Amino acid sequence: MNKLRHRKLVIFCIVLAIAAGGIYGSLRLWGSHHSTSSVVTGGGISTVLVERGDVVQSLTVYGEVVPKQEYTFAFDGDQIKEIYVKQGERVDKDQILVELNNTKEKLALMQAEDSLAEAKAEGIPRVIQEKEMAYQLTKAEYAATTLRAPFAGVVSAASQAVGSSQEDKIVLIDTSELFIEADVDQLDIPRITPGEQAIATVDAFSDRTWQVKIVSVGGMAEMSESTSTVAVRAKFPNPESSILPGFTAQMEIITSSATNVLRIPISALIKEDGSWAVMKVIDGKQQQQPVKVGVISDQYVEVKSGLDEGDKIVLYPTESKTAEAGTSTASASGPGDTASPGFPGMP
C-alpha cells in the first residue's frame, strides 16, 4: 500500500513539473510577442533601433515679469501739495499725478510777467529780449511743479513720507508691453542670441505657457553670489492684464534644434579620445562604430554620419560590457538567447 502511494506521488510530481514548464514557456512566448519593437533585451544587453525624429536643445532660466518702462518720482517730505492718483490706478499720458508746493515759483512768475510788461513799455529791444527769456524760464519752473504722466500706465506705488527722513514717492509703470527678465550664468550666454524663441511659464498660472521671443542680451555681466550673470529679456507677444509685473516666471530657451533627423538616445554614446562612438550590433556581435553628432538634448543626439536608420545599437554600452563579461558563460547559444529552465526531465 505504501509503495503504491509512493508511485502515485512521484507521478503527480512529474506531471506538475511538466505543467509548470508549459506555463513558463507560454509566458516566455507571450512576452516575446509583446515586447517593445525598438528595444531588445537579452543577455544583460539592451539595444535600440536608430530612428528619425526631432532633437531640441534648450536652457531653462528663472526670472520675473517686468514692464516696458518704469518712472519713479521722489520728493522731500515737504514738497508735495497734493497727490491726485492712488496705487493701482491706470492713468493716461499727460494726466496730472502730483502738484508740488509752488508759492515761490508762482511769485517769481508774476514778477517776471511784470518785468516783461515794463520792458515792452520802454521799448528797448535788448531789454525786452532779456526779460522775455527770464519770463520763459520762470514759466517753465512753475509748470514743473505740476507733474504729469510721461506715458500711459499703472501707478504701482503712491506713498507720502511719514517722517522727515523719508521721501514721498510715486512709481509709474508702462504695461503696454511685458517682458520676462532673467539673470543667466555667463557660461550659458554664448548659447543665447536675440530672436530665439522660448516657452515661458508664469508661476501664478502654472497650467499655461506662452511663446516669447528673446529681445535683448545685456551687454554687461554682474556678480551674483559666486558667479557672473547677464540680464536676458524676452517679450510676451500679446500682454494680458492678468499677468502682473513682479510675477515670478521661468523660460525654456530653445538654443538649437534639428527636425526629422537620425537620432539616438544620449545613453548610447561613448566618448573616447575626444570623439564619439556607439556599439553597433551586427549579426549578434557588438562592434564599435564612430559617429559624428550634431544637436544634443538631454534625451537625444542628432547623428550626422556613421549610422543608418534601422541600425541596432547598444544602450548603456559601458554597463553592457560589464554585464556581458559577468554572464559570458551563462549561454553558448549567442547574444539574446537564454538558457532553458532546469526542470527535471526537460531539455
- Rounded to 10 degrees, the C-alpha dihedral 144/145/150/152 comes to -150
Q: Which triple of cell numbers denotes residue 263?
A: 537620432
Each residue's pLDDT tens digit, 140-190: 999 999 999 999 999 998 876 666 566 788 999 999 999 999 999 999 999
Each residue's pLDDT tens digit, 85-127: 999 999 999 999 999 999 999 999 999 999 999 999 999 999 9
Contacts of 23 by beta carbon, 8 Å cutoff, 6+ apart? none
Rounded Cα distance, 134 and 131, in Å: 5
DSSP string, 220-273: EEEEETTEEEEEEEEE-SS--TTS-TT-EEEEEEEEEEEEEEEEEEGGG-EEET
Q: Which triple of cell numbers denotes residue 217?
A: 542680451
By CB atoms closer than 10 A (0-12, 13-18, 19+), residue 128 is middle
CA 283 to chain centre: 44
Percent of the chain at pLDDT exceeding 90: 63
By CB atoms closer than 10 A (0-12, 13-18, 19+), residue 163 is exposed
Task: Name which of 339, 318, 328, 330 is nearest 46 in CA terms.
Answer: 318
Each residue's pLDDT tens digit, 27-61: 333 333 333 345 655 556 899 999 999 999 999 99
Angle formed by the axes of helices 125-143 and 103-122, nearest 10°? 160
Each residue's pLDDT tens digit, 52-63: 999 999 999 999
Q: Which domains does the chain have, with CATH numbers?
A: 38-56+260-326 (2.40.420.20), 60-65+177-258 (2.40.30.170), 69-172 (no CATH)
Query: Helix, strand, coil % (nearest 5) of the chain?
Result: 25, 45, 30
